[in-house]
Amino acid sequence: MAGYIIETAKGKWEVVVGLEIHCQIISKSKIFSGASTEFGDDPNTNVSFVDAGFPGMLPVLNEECVHQAVKTGLGLNAKINKYSEFSRKNYFYADMPTDYQITQFRYPIVGEGEIDIDLSDGATKKIGIERMHIEQDAGKSIHDLSPTKSYIDLNRAGVGLMEIVTKPDFRSPEEAGAFLRKLRSILRYLGTCDGNMDEGSMRCDVNVSVRPYGSDELRTRCEMKNVNSVKFVMQAIENEAKRHVEVYENGGTIAQETRQFDPTTGHTKVMRKKEFAHDYRYFPEPDLPPLVLDDDYINSVKAEMIELPDAKKHRFVETLGLTPYDAMVLCENKETADFFEKAASGHDAKKVANWMMGDFFAMLNKKRLDIAQSPVSAENLGALVELISKDVISGKIAKDVFEIMSETGKNPEQIVEEKGLKQVTDTKAIEAIIETVIASNADNVAAYKSGKTNLAGWFVGQVIKMSQGKANPAIVNKLVRERLDK
């Protein structure tokens, strides 16, 4: 895509963005305790003594969380580190009773990787992953139930998190948005995180700086914490970058700080001066041994890997002839991709894709249904496309049939049979209709013969209309012209 450039009267600027994304691990119990991770339960009902920070309680690493993290690392095409270790990150916060977070610092479980993002012009770009580590989530402070008190819910305390840190590879809000969509799609395919940003199971910190266009320096960045939708991430980047440009152009400097994005104004305001790693007094967690994985284990997780969206997209383009854009949309979630493959099986895949991208998605949208609830089954959509391919019905009639399918769930053959919608390809029958139309429109026949040849299209339309849309358009077109030119 064309570069995203901020241009002012004084100069051109480029934005440099990196993301840190906290993803809640899908697992029945928390990362260091046996308490449930269920979202939405009554406050403080899923809290073990470990989560509550009782003295003497010891954490035990949940193997399922490790398994999910390794799977995710493989999904990010990243290096799985056979040696990793846990550290204590010390800080005081009311929703964290231990006053430290168990996280990974020097040795994360996942190293460098990369994923492709899909841009609006059909291009792709590689985004580097710096690392991914696992850690525990904090509880939740609730400030809006009382004007004078804050409440603490520890249900979330100790839920497993994967923190994915990207390289500063984004050069526009669009690229960051595309990355979050792709990451969410991969996590959902893998079943390692549900990716619901509005429920906080995927939370994004956004690091933004700007530099003169064409330069490769890295200037001071500011971090926006916990931005909770793709749209807000894009907005935060745009507005924060503009703020930096304004400060620089007025001779100021940017301080490294943590800022808060306000969705109602779209702007950011300062939360606190940025803390540095040494402020946290990281040290190796004495209650947990290092995490050591062997090749057998990593290979066994590799063997479980399913086809991910990029590989699927590639296959749809290469072997089924889909456009990259259609393939990308169809592969964004696994249910849709599976539905498509089932519908396309044995039929014209490109036509099936067109139907899904058009009438099918429009129908789901209108009825506000998930694909799993679709009244039109994959088999029936494939059968409908087959009827068109075999000239049993025209594309126009197919739209009516589809409408009935989406209301009744019936299969298209049955609808065509019941409603007598079979396309007329019998030339005798079509010729008879042509004669009727010609007999009752002598004036237009005369006009045609005197040179208004574009009236042929009008005759074709009349014939198809009189056949109630059932006459095969190609045949009508040929016969009408032959008859008029006779």
**Contact call for residue 326 and Mn ion (CB under 5 A):** no
- Using Cβ positions, the residue closest to Mn ion within the complex turns out to be 163
**Contact call for residue 174 and Mn ion (CB under 5 A):** no
Nearer to Mn ion, 113 or 382 (CB): 113
**Contact call for residue 137 and Mn ion (CB under 5 A):** no
Nearer to Mn ion, 13 or 86 (CB): 86
Name the β-bridge partners of 65.
Answer: none
The least distance separating Mn ion from the CB of residue 101, rounded to whole angstroms, comes to 7
The least distance separating Mn ion from the CB of residue 133, rounded to whole angstroms, comes to 8
Number of residues that bind Mn ion (CB under 5 A): 1
Nearer to Mn ion, 163 or 359 (CB): 163
The least distance separating Mn ion from the CB of residue 135, rounded to whole angstroms, comes to 5
**Contact call for residue 163 and Mn ion (CB under 5 A):** yes
Q: Give the DSSP per-residue string, 134-177.
A: EEEPP-EEE-SS-SS--EEE-TTTT-EEEEEEE-S-B-SHHHHH
Radius of gyration of the chain (CA): 30
Q: How many residues does the chain have?
A: 486
The least distance separating Mn ion from the CB of residue 280, rounded to whole angstroms, comes to 11
Secondary structure of residue 381 in the 3-state scheme:
helix
Residue span binding Mn ion (CB under 5 A) among the ranges 10-18, 159-167, 176-184, 360-368: 159-167
Residue span binding Mn ion (CB under 5 A) among the ranges 106-114, 163-171, 345-353, 464-472: 163-171
What is the Cα–Cα distance from 484 to 459, expressed in whole angstroms?
Answer: 9
Nearer to Mn ion, 113 or 160 (CB): 160
Buried b (16+ CB within 10 A) or exposed e, 149-175: eeebbbbbbbbbbbbbbbebbbbbbbb
Name the β-bridge partners of 224.
Answer: 206, 259
- Taking alpha carbons only, the member of 268, 192, 194 closest to residue 226 is 268
Please report, as residue ranges, which positions from 453 to 472 form the binding site for Mn ion (by CB under 5 A).
none
The least distance separating Mn ion from the CB of residue 317, rounded to whole angstroms, comes to 37
Angstrom distances, CA of residue 455 to CA of 13, 447, 449, 476: 58, 8, 10, 14
Nearer to Mn ion, 118 or 163 (CB): 163
Nearer to Mn ion, 67 or 225 (CB): 225
Angstrom distances, CA of residue 241 to CA of 91, 166, 233, 471: 30, 18, 12, 60
Judged by phi (left if over 0) then psi (alpha if -120 to 50, else beta), residue 425 lies in alpha
Nearer to Mn ion, 165 or 371 (CB): 165
The least distance separating Mn ion from the CB of residue 43, rounded to whole angstroms, comes to 23
**Contact call for residue 130 and Mn ion (CB under 5 A):** no
- Degrees, nearest 5: CA angle 334-338-341: 140
The least distance separating Mn ion from the CB of residue 282, rounded to whole angstroms, comes to 12
What is the Cα–Cα distance from 280 to 278, expressed in whole angstroms?
Answer: 5
The least distance separating Mn ion from the CB of residue 71, rounded to whole angstroms, comes to 20
Element (H, E) at 207: strand 202-212
**Contact call for residue 85 and Mn ion (CB under 5 A):** no
Residue span binding Mn ion (CB under 5 A) among the ranges 162-170, 302-310, 350-358, 436-444: 162-170
Nearer to Mn ion, 158 or 173 (CB): 158
The binding site for Mn ion (CB under 5 A) comprises 163
